[in-house]
Amino acid sequence: MNLQTRTAALAAAAAFALSGWSAQAAPDLSGAKFRQILGGAQKIASDHGIDEARAVIIGGIPQWITVRGRDRRNPILLVLHGGPAAPELPNRYLFEAPWTDYFTVVEWDQRGAGETYALNDPAKIAPTLTEDRMVADAEELVGYLRTTYGKKKIFALGHSWGSILGLRLAHDKPQWLYAYIGMGQIIDMRAGEQAGYDFVLKAAAADHNDKALAELKAIAPYPEADGALPIDKIDTERKWSVHYGGLSHGHDSYDYLSDAQRLSPDYAEADVEALVDAASGFSFPKLLPQMARTDFTGVKALDCPVIIFAGRYDYTTPTAPVERWYDALKAPRKRWVWFENSAHMMATEEPGKVLVHLVEDARPLAAAAGDVAPAEREK
């Protein structure tokens, strides 16, 4: 066999082998299989790890939590999601895995949200959808976590709507927290909505967007004279705020995150519509009037450390009212962190920076109490 023939034969054999390998190894990337693969890749298998998902009875009803960490000796970080009824669970695969190296992360689908919505009869829980009841749920959940996992204190991270629950938890039960971490913090809802409305009007004018300007001017006054936020008006304001990057900097829609939810290993694709969209439609109108009345400007002191993560371009929960409050606040320790390339969704907009500040600013408070996994051994 001459060199040319031998080369051709080898090439043919290689092509055959590769085609066989490709046919055998090509994964099924249909939606369900893709989520299964992604979930398998995120499985926690370390010796001291924990990876649990279950319903627990909180506030008299089953509520869904997940508990994940690579070493259960690390401190607990409870995530209080936004919305209302906008759980972090379907998007957490985008950013949360590295957190589990340093914390035991607890995700909680709140009353009327996500898996908890699916576990309960909406007609029965509708009368219980109040801010006070959900703060009580948060307190009960923290008590459960402290008892079940043997922790004297935990961290609470509140995002957006969840920052209302989180700040009330910090105010009422500071002895349970190493620190409260506010992300997209709400302090004075009325002032924040006014600032957001002013921003989007200016952005639309600068863009010469006559359609946006007409729709925005049609909802004036915004908020209402008494501070109320009719749902049709907040929908219009948010439509254009999202378009001009007030939710995610540099994005003119939420599609990139809502599309990512459909690949979540934590929710089946059908669940996204049933557990996110339907739950939001159920819960948001009931909680919005209470949310509109939020005003923490009278809270002048907290008895636990406070860390604020603030997006430079956040016009969903604008930072100006939060800065004024923070500057006057008295607390054992305070830390303000600007996220210069973020709006409201810092965890996905600057995930590395969120991780760094959780590890550098929050975790040492638990380390000082001995509530962290032993340091890695050096060679």
Residue 42 has pLDDT above 90, yes or no: no
pLDDT above 70 covers what percent of the chain? 89
Query: Which position has the higher pLDDT, 258 or 53?
Result: 53
pLDDT above 90 covers what percent of the chain? 76
pLDDT score recorded for residue 19: 41
With cut-offs at 50, 70 and 90, classify the pLDDT of residue 46: confident
3-state helix, strand, coil in the chain (%, to 5): 50, 15, 35
SS3 338: strand
Output phi, psi for 375, to 5 deg: -65, 155
Dist. CA 26–CA 24, nearest whole Å: 6
Q: Is the domain of 99 the same as that of 152? A: yes
Is residue 105 in some structural domain? yes
Domain range for 77 is 38-188+257-366
pLDDT score recorded for residue 31: 67
Query: Which position has the higher pLDDT, 369 or 261?
Result: 369
With cut-offs at 50, 70 and 90, classify the pLDDT of residue 375: confident
Q: Please list the residues that pair with 201 across neighbouring strands.
A: none
pLDDT score recorded for residue 307: 98
Q: Is the domain of 55 the same as that of 109? A: yes
Q: What is the largest CA-CA distance in the chain?
A: 92
In what helix (H) or strand (E) does residue 289 lie, and over which residues does it extend?
Answer: helix 278-292
Pairing of strands 61-69, 104-109: antiparallel
pLDDT score recorded for residue 22: 42
The mean predicted confidence, pLDDT, of the chain is: 90
Is residue 372 in some structural domain? no
Tell me, rounded to whole angstroms, the distance of Cα 290 from its chain centroid.
Answer: 21
Query: Which position has the higher pLDDT, 295 or 18?
Result: 295
Q: Is the domain of 181 the same as that of 197? A: no
**Angle at CA 227, nearest 5°, toward 225 and 228?**
105
pLDDT score recorded for residue 8: 42
Dist. CA 76–CA 155, nearest whole Å: 6
With cut-offs at 50, 70 and 90, classify the pLDDT of residue 2: very low
Residue 6 has pLDDT above 60, yes or no: no
291-309 pLDDT, tens digit per residue, is 999 999 999 999 999 999 9
Query: 95 CB contacts (<8 Å, ≥6 apart)?
Result: 347, 348, 351, 354, 355
141-179 pLDDT, tens digit per residue, is 999 999 999 999 999 999 999 999 999 999 999 999 999
With cut-offs at 50, 70 and 90, classify the pLDDT of residue 30: low
Dist. CA 301–CA 27, nearest whole Å: 55
Tell me, rounded to whole angstroms, the distance of Cα 165 from its chain centroid.
Answer: 13
Q: Is the domain of 63 the same as that of 91? A: yes
In what helix (H) or strand (E) does residue 284 lie, and over which residues does it extend?
Answer: helix 278-292
Is residue 20 in some structural domain? no
77-99 pLDDT, tens digit per residue, is 999 999 998 888 888 889 999 99
Dist. CA 358–CA 341, nearest whole Å: 17
Q: Is the domain of 210 the same as that of 183? A: no
pLDDT score recorded for residue 29: 54
Residue 379 has pLDDT above 90, yes or no: no
- Residue 298 burial (C-beta neighbours within 10 Å; 0-12, 13-18, 19+): exposed
Residue in 54, 357, 34 with CA at minimum distance from that of residue 181: 357
Place of tokens 């996220």: 339
Q: Is the domain of 51 the same as that of 180? A: yes
In what helix (H) or strand (E) does residue 351 lie, and over which residues does it extend?
Answer: helix 351-357
Q: Is the domain of 222 the same as that of 352? A: no
Is residue 77 in some structural domain? yes
| pTM, two decimal places | 0.89
In what helix (H) or strand (E) does residue 3 lie, and over which residues does it extend?
Answer: helix 3-25
